[in-house]
């Protein structure tokens, strides 16, 4: 009996030790963050932060003979510490940079590419005069702030200039709600020829497209993303982008390419016939009957053609993206714009004969809107909300609109 008691006691002790060890392993390490004032100003206490944390910017240090000019990563003060993006990854020392007390420069950052920033020069420790409110066709001006994220307001009656270079940031809020448009085929397809004669919409920030899409590819939990694109994006009206997307929501594989007509012409000033041929062996893009791109199976790299296993709907949309490096910067004052679709033709593909049908499965000339054939999008995408009312049939065209609506104040 005593033997069994000792065994049980040993097991309990082992379990407790294991639990304590596990608890210790789960503790996130903390690192010391020291502020080296380099012999000037009033000392600032060291803080201890978890791995990956941002550092809260301390109060501006003050010295009788020198003006503070920022926190840096090295003693020589070459690389400034960015309190909004730089994270603590180990024990860290920030070094204060100082300049002889003279005049200080105040930069009023507009935070908009369309409005120039301005400068002022003031004495160290003085108040700064509030500049005139800024004006924009696209945004409401909401005041001046101490940081670029505009979370702490600058108080012109009490805040004094205590840095050699002081930046004060303009805050903006949008004047407009933005609305895009999309139609999608109620039927789905696996392989086929898809033809549309269109005049595309275009402005900086916009996306005007025709695409084939495996429904709900973008939904969380979906294990399949299949998409074939034609897009005219706001950075260049003289080119269209072809793209295949495969993989899944968390690991998309893309193969974007840009193409232009010869001679060069804008896709938003005249009609062109766009075609996508999708077969088990290749994806081919045409404009006005000319091949612009052909992607085949077993080419170098990821075989995206073979990865297109889902049945897809045919879609057209016009919207605005927030990804400025892709589409440029949207100016709502440039809206509305429209995409015009003259006709759509869909052909079947026979996997045995490897031929497209000579006659289309159906043709839509858009003398009216066929609710049995098409649905209208009503969900958010990018910077817009899709609005069914932005889809209309007009003069024998299906018209997709990208519009704005003023937010009153």
Q: Which residues are catalytic?
A: 227, 231
Say how far apart CA 368 and CA 386 lie, in whole Å: 20
163 three-state secondary structure: strand
Using alpha carbons, select from 340, 334, 337, 279 the residue that is nearest to residue 308.
279
Q: Strands, E, within 157-300: which ranges?
A: 165-174, 176-185, 192-199, 206-213, 227-233, 239-248, 251-254, 257-260, 272-278, 282-287, 290-296
- Return the H-helix or E-strand segment holding 404: strand 397-406
- What dihedral do alpha carbons 117, 121, 122, 123 form, nearest 10°? 140
Using alpha carbons, select from 275, 289, 283 the residue that is nearest to residue 344.
275
Angle at 114 between CA 108 and CA 115, to 5 degrees: 25
β-pair partners for 246: 253
Angle at 260 between CA 245 and CA 252, to 5 degrees: 10
Burial class (CB in 10 A: 0-12, 13-18, 19+), 352: exposed
Whether residue 174 contacts residue 384, with contact meaning beta carbons closer than 8 Å, is answered with no
Residue 279 makes CB contacts below 8 A (sequence gap 6+) with: 191, 349, 351, 354
Backbone angles phi, psi at 23, to 5 degrees: -60, -40
């Amino acid at each position: 009996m005593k033997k069994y008691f000792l065994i049980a006691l040993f097991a309990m002790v082992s379990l407790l030790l294991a639990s304590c060890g596990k608890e210790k392993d789960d503790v996130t390490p903390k690192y010391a963050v020291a502020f080296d004032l380099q012999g000037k100003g009033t000392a600032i206490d060291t803080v201890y932060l978890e791995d990956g944390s941002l550092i809260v910017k301390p109060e501006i240090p003050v010295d009788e003979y020198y003006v503070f000019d920022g926190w840096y990563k090295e003693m020589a003060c070459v690389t400034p510490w960015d309190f909004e993006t730089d994270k603590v990854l180990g024990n860290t020392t920030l070094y204060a940079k100082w300049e002889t007390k003279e005049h200080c420069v105040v930069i009023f950052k507009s935070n908009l590419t369309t409005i120039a920033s301005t400068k002022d020069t003031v004495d160290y420790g003085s108040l700064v005069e509030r500049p005139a409110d800024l004006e924009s066709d696209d945004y409401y001006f909401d005041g001046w702030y101490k940081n670029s994220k505009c979370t702490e307001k600058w108080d012109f009656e009490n805040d004094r200039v205590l840095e050699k270079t002081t930046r004060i940031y303009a805050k903006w809020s949008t004047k407009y709600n933005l609305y895009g448009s999309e139609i999608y085929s109620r039927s789905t397809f696996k392989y086929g020829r898809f033809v549309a004669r269109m005049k595309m919409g275009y402005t900086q920030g916009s996306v005007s497209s025709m695409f084939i899409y495996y429904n709900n590819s973008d939904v969380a939990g979906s294990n399949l993303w299949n998409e074939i694109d034609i897009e005219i994006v706001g950075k260049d009206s003289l080119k269209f982008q072809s793209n295949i997307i495969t993989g899944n929501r968390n690991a998309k594989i893309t193969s974007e390419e840009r193409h232009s007509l010869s001679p060069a012409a804008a896709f938003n000033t005249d009609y062109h016939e766009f075609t996508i041929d999708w077969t088990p062996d290749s994806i081919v893009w045409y404009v006005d009957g000319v091949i612009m791109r052909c992607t085949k199976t077993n080419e170098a790299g990821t075989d995206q053609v073979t990865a297109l296993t889902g049945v897809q709907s045919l879609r057209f949309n016009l919207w605005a993206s927030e990804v400025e490096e892709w589409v440029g910067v949207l100016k709502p004052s440039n809206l509305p714009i429209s995409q015009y679709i003259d006709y759509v033709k869909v052909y079947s593909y026979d996997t045995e004969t490897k031929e497209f049908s000579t006659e289309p499965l159906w043709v839509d000339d858009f003398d009216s809107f066929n609710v049995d054939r098409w649905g209208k999008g009503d969900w958010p995408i990018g910077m817009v909300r899709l609005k069914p009312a932005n889809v209309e049939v007009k003069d024998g065209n299906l018209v997709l609109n990208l519009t704005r609506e003023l937010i009153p104040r």
